[in-house]
Amino acid sequence: MSDLKNLYLSRFDDQPVNGRRIAEQLGFPADLSAENVIIYGLLDYNFEVRYVGKSQGNRVPGRLAFHVRTKNWVYGIYVLDRSDQENWANREKGWIAFYRMRSLGRGAPLLNIASGGEGGFCYGHTEETKKKMAKAHEGSEHSLASIIKISEGNKGKKRSAETKENIGRSSREPNRVEQTRQIGKANKGRKRSAESIKKQKATWEANHPDLVELRELRKPIYKPGEFHRGRRHSQASKDKISAANKGKSHPCTEEAKEKIRAAHKGVPKPPEQVAKSVATKRARRLERKASATNNPSS
How many other CB atoms are found less than 10 A from the CB of residue 71?
Answer: 14
Note the pLDDT of residue 124: 66
Record the pTM. 0.39
Where b means 16+ CB within 10 Å and e means fewer, 143-165 reads eeeeeeeeeeeeeeeeeeeeeee
Question: What burial letters (b/e) apply to 31-67, b meaning 16+ CB within 10 Å?
Answer: ebeeebbbbbbbbbeeebbbbbbbbbebebbebbbeb
Closest C-alpha among 50, 106, 107 to residue 77: 50
Question: Is the model more confident about 3 or about 98?
Answer: 98
Starting at the edge strand that comes first in sequence, how are the strands of the sheet with 6-8 ordered? 6-8, 76-83, 37-43, 49-56
Mean pLDDT of the chain: 77
* Coil vs helix vs strand at 224: coil
With vertex at residue 21, the alpha carbon angle to CA 20 and CA 22, rounded to the nearest 5 degrees, is 90
End-to-end CA distance of the chain: 119
Q: Are 59 and 104 in contact (CB under 8 A)?
A: no
76-83 and 37-43 strand pairing = antiparallel
Average pLDDT of 166-177?
A: 74
Residue 116 CA to residue 94 CA, distance in Å, equals 8
Pairwise CA distance, residues 43 & 55, whole Å: 17
CB 38 within 8 A of CB 79: yes
In the predicted model, is pLDDT for residue 205 greater than 60?
yes
Spatial contact of 38 and 82, defined as CB atoms under 8 Å apart: yes
pLDDT per position as a tens digit, 71-125: 878 877 787 888 888 888 888 888 888 888 887 766 668 888 878 776 555 556 7
Task: Judge whether residue 3 has pLDDT over 50.
Answer: no
Q: What is the pLDDT of residues 225-242, one digit of tens each?
A: 665 666 788 888 888 988
The span from the CA of 215 to the CA of 209, in Å, is 10
The string of pLDDT tens digits covering residues 131-162 is 888 888 887 888 888 888 888 888 888 888 88
Element (H, E) at 54: strand 49-56
Query: What average pLDDT does the segment 244-267 reach?
Result: 81
The torsion defined by the Cα of 86, 88, 90 and 95, in degrees rounded to 10, comes to 170
Q: How large a percentage of the chain has pLDDT more than 90?
A: 0
How far apart are alpha carbons 55 and 22 in whole angstroms? 14
